[in-house]
Structure 1
């Protein structure tokens, strides 16, 4: 009888946990309050930084200055877009911050609440500021559209069954829950464990180019970026950033389809 009740609770929880994203229009399964994830992100972000080699943005390091500059411009573009579409309330709780971390990993991520990290190992592949902007716009989109929430919700539902919400509330600070969070975001050694779905990736690609374009960066640089990703993968050195994403050939085809829309937002910096 108890199992039946729990099963009914699980079905009810899933039914009421589907919502439509105001920007993308896609229905999403999200069990967790975004405010809870943002709180978790603060602790996990500080924990990550405590063990990372952060490149100070005030150290006259050109790469750190570039990453910080791109982050500020992407955030300004996102803020403008949400304001223009009367959705500023959706950015409530965001405390944006951008860091460059010394690591050979070719990776970048953005936590719920706006904590952005770029690894130095990604820069030889991005090669220029506009390509970096497309990557950072992509990662910011994952946070903005609740993709971390979706990934965690799917994992929690599969692992905890009928006790979905109770399990989360009781274990949100546990090592298991922290691992689920890290895997969902794509932090460090967690990369590749819990890949984003195709729909999530396409959303991040599409709007990542839009944020980059609004920030004054050429969205067409996204094509060259993925061509370089493809070359890197072909040489047997698959970047960590690529390990959670669909194949570059398919990715480039989709980017080209999205390009006309992104170019409508593009106004080069200084013009």
Structure 2
């Protein structure tokens, strides 16, 4: 298929980052753009080459995880940023695994001592490594709304106990494999989100992207220090800028975020490239 020209496909959906098309044979073409989102807003300008980095990194991870969970890939596109995929019936739950405490998990812990109903030891700080990775699912909110934390019991009520158990098992297995490989390459995977769906045979299958800077928090291992926000290889850098006085933006204002300055765009791109190169051992070539 000549994916660069989108021959024989029709548009189905345009998300915050990816555009989805349906091919004549029923397969799906997923194209990763250079768009970047934060706080439920798509930001401007785009991050050059981001879509290619996400796609190439997902393709690499699909190989590393092939014995852990099947994936939806049929063939990579010719343009470096697209994938021809099998359609899946997606699970109505965001599957998240955490090995370290930060972000919304940290906020929940500070309020209740728990994350998604899982009690954690006292005294943990921002960036603390958890005693063991935990499954912390969320709802799948409509575009523009926030995902809300779910307990395991709520997931079981939503999809049934047997499916909930498999979602937890697969999510933790993906995280543990990814975290081990990344740590060997000097990167801490603090948490990650994956998308799972059923294929035509009813098999739970990995879809969308996996273990990218958009779906995970990546920290440089050599700089990891609990008790503070961590340097990162992901879009946390963009979130931090938006929340800084330099942006002049208030997330609760209801207004759209300001454009990203050129230096924020370039530094974000550099972080994505470094994550790709550290993990894969390959040089990124646009």
**If the length of structure 2 is used for normalisation, what is the TM-score?**
0.26
Kindly indicate which of the two structures has a greater share of residues assigned to strand: 2
TM normalised by structure 1 equals 0.27
Higher helix share: 1
